[in-house]
Amino acid sequence: MTDQPFDLQFVIASGPSQCERAVFGFAAALAAAHSGSRVVVALTMHGAHWGAETSGREESVHGFPPVAELIELLQEAGGRVEACATCVDNYCPSPVGADGLKQLGFGIERVGLGVIAMRMSDIPTTLC
């Protein structure tokens, strides 16, 4: 047994060019959260694109809400969204704020990739 605060981790490495994969990850995380699982979504590589406050408002897949709405719904359901700090620097289209960091959407936290990787040995993880 671990002391992890999460039951499931979804790693979203897909950006707008593979929107279907990203939508699947967010929608699956949302379904798990609504089923009572403690869920964390980690935005990595091109998936860090979704961390921008202005991203995901128009990108969607038929039958699903836009990515930005999926993120909001996930957070409302108690899910956590994190973004790999290095990936944000390389792939997130957000402007740099006064603190010298790219600005992320509401409630999205920067973490090190090591944190995301270490969870993989402790909790079930899905890569999207």
Question: What is the pLDDT at residue 59?
Answer: 83
Per-residue pLDDT tens for 33-57? 999 999 999 999 999 999 999 998 8
Q: Are 125 and 10 in contact (CB under 8 A)?
A: yes
Q: In this model, does residue 2 exceed pLDDT 80?
A: no
Q: Where are the domains of the chain?
A: 8-127
Question: What is the pLDDT at residue 50?
Answer: 97
Beta strands in the chain (DSSP E): 8-12, 39-43, 80-84, 108-111, 125-127
CA–CA gap between residue 125 and residue 2 (Å, rounded): 15
4 — pLDDT class (breaks 50, 70, 90): confident
- Homologous superfamily in CATH for domain 8-127: DsrEFH-like (3.40.1260.10)
Q: What is the mean pLDDT of the chain?
A: 95
Residue 94's SS3 state is coil
Question: What is the pLDDT at residue 3?
Answer: 67
Q: Which one, of 127, 50, 37, lies nearest residue 79 by Cα?
A: 37
Q: In this model, does residue 1 exceed pLDDT 60?
A: no
The token pair that represents 59 in the structure block: 């990108």
Per-residue pLDDT tens for 14-33? 999 999 999 999 999 999 99
* DSSP secondary structure of 57-80: SS---TTS--HHHHHHHHHHTT-E
Per-residue pLDDT tens for 57-74? 888 899 999 999 999 999
